[in-house]
Homo-oligomer: A and B are copies of this chain.
Amino acid sequence: MWFDAIVEIERKFLVPELPQDLERWPATRIEQGYLAIGDDGTEVRVRRRDGHAVLTIKGGGGRSRMEEEFGIEDERFTRLWPLTEGRRLEKTRHVIAAGEGLNIEVDVYAGALTGLSVAEVEFGTEEAADAFEPPAWFGREVTDDARFKNQRLASEGAPAGAGD
């Protein structure tokens, strides 16, 4: 077992048109489903990515969230997956090195969310998050738009006008 506990500081933007060179960056397929989503936004999800399964607990919402991860055996993932029915999503994540130690994660959704793409950037400090200058191909910022949380996308689908 391995684990990781962090407070995430991140900003999230829509990507109306994918950058031309996206395919040259490393990409991984992700499938994830939510076991439970609490009234206060606390979420518990399972995710499989490149054959590795992880259980993640995220508290709260907004730019800083408490996150706790557990690596889990495939067998356990298989048992838990049925509990996520109706709260699942699939996406391909491309990771672009954006200089100054920053990575841009571009999530291109599949299945029921086809057509939606979102870029997330994670920062070490609140100051770095404030100072970040979005590249020209980023669209509207949706960091604080709860409809674009993965837990909401998984259970409710894409909001109208999400391709803007």
**CB within 8 A of A44: which of B3, B36, B39, B82?**
B36
Residue A66 lies at the interface, judged by CB distance under 8 Å to chain B: yes
Measured CB to CB, the closest approach of chain B to A66, in angstroms, equals 7
Query: A44 — nearest CB in chain B belongs to which residue?
Result: B44
Measured CB to CB, the closest approach of chain B to A151, in angstroms, equals 10
**Residues of A within 8 A of B (CB-CB), count:** 25
Bound complex: CA of A114 vs CA of B39, how far in Å?
Answer: 26
Copies in the complex: 2
A35-B57, A57-B35, A68-B76 are contacts. A42–B3 as well, Cβ < 8 Å? no
Residue A161 lies at the interface, judged by CB distance under 8 Å to chain B: no
Bound complex: CA of A83 vs CA of B43, how far in Å?
Answer: 10
List, sorted by A's number, 13 A–B pairs whose CB atoms are closer than 8 Å: A1-B1, A3-B73, A5-B76, A35-B38, A35-B44, A36-B38, A36-B43, A38-B38, A42-B83, A57-B83, A59-B83, A66-B79, A68-B76
